Amino acid sequence: MSLLLAPWTRLSLLVVLLVAAGVCVLVYEPQRMLSQGWPTGLPVGVAVLLFGGAYGLCTAAFVPRPLLNLAAGAVFGAQAGLVAAVGGTVLGAGISFGLGRVMGQEALRPLLRGRWLKAADAQLSGHGFRSVLAVRIFPGVPFAAANYLAAVSRCGWLPFLLATALGTVPNTTAYVIAGASASSPGSPAFLVSFGFITVSGAVAAAVAWRGRHRLAGPAAHEPSPVHPPVVGAAPHGP
């Protein structure tokens, strides 16, 4: 029993679970089922809840959120689609965070040795809400990767989920509206949402580039270590 509870055993089980989920996504393409095979005749409230639950499981299994957001808009329209997408986003983030916290944190924390990993861990552990909110608003880091990185850190549950719910609204709204108006690509709603997606992607790339150089800067200017003289070495010169 103690072997099953060992940190590396739990991490191995998590890796197997995530690989299996990824394979299922590639084989069954659940995002296609959500956008094309959704049952008709359900009450809107029930359908939104079921879609949100399926959305959460899909994001935990690495299905890209933009595809799910487009599907939510295409199936439910802008308003109900946004509710389903944001609810599913928070649910999927919570599933990933919980799996990473229970099955991976204890084994992975000793491995946080790189400069980037240490900096990210310090931000998430010390400023959880602010850091997660920034990652969600400027999604330069993949959604699933951000979830598991936050789980390995000491970020709390409430700051993580609250920042996820608030920070994903702008980008999610743009994709949902684009999905809802995809049948009329010349409409103002589609053009505005597509423009927002393009601009936010460019801003995310710029923020990621700036952060990369900011982290690399201190290392480039660190003085080289001064080696002490060897005791007993023969003096130079006559």
Q: What secondary structure does DSSP assign to 38-60, as a single string? A: PPSS--HHHHHHHHHHHHHHHHH
Q: Give the amino acid at 238.
A: P
DSSP letter (8 states) at residue 142 = -
How far is it, in rounded angstroms, from Cα 18 to Cα 99? Answer: 10
Per-residue model confidence (pLDDT) at position 127 = 86
How far is it, in rounded angstroms, from Cα 137 to Cα 126? Answer: 19
Per-residue model confidence (pLDDT) at position 222 = 46
Q: What secondary structure does DSSP assign to 11-39, as a single string? A: HHHHHHHHHHHHHHHHHH-HHHHHHH-PP
Per-residue model confidence (pLDDT) at position 173 = 96
Work out the burial of residue 235: count CB atoms within 10 Å of its CB; fewer than 13 is exposed, 13-18 middle, 19 or more buried: exposed
DSSP letter (8 states) at residue 223 = P
Smallest CA-to-CA distance from 58 within 45, 73, 69 is with 69
The reported pTM is: 0.78
How far is it, in rounded angstroms, from Cα 127 to Cα 116? Answer: 16
CB under 8 Å to 69, separation ≥6 — which residues?
A: 81, 85, 172, 175, 176, 179
Per-residue model confidence (pLDDT) at position 175 = 95
Per-residue model confidence (pLDDT) at position 170 = 93
Are 85 and 34 a contacting pair, CB within 8 Å?
no
Torsion, CA 150, CA 164, CA 207, CA 67, rounded to 10 = 110
Are 60 and 95 a contacting pair, CB within 8 Å?
yes
Are 69 and 175 a contacting pair, CB within 8 Å?
yes
Work out the burial of residue 198: count CB atoms within 10 Å of its CB; fewer than 13 is exposed, 13-18 middle, 19 or more buried: exposed
User: Cβ–Cβ contacts within 10 Å for residue 224, how many?
Assistant: 5
Per-residue pLDDT of the chain (238 residues; tens, 9 = 90+): 455 567 778 778 888 888 888 888 888 777 777 776 567 778 889 999 999 999 999 998 888 899 999 999 999 999 999 999 999 999 999 999 999 888 877 767 666 666 666 777 788 888 889 999 988 987 677 888 889 888 888 889 999 999 999 999 999 999 999 999 988 888 999 999 989 888 887 877 777 676 555 545 544 444 444 555 555 555 554 4
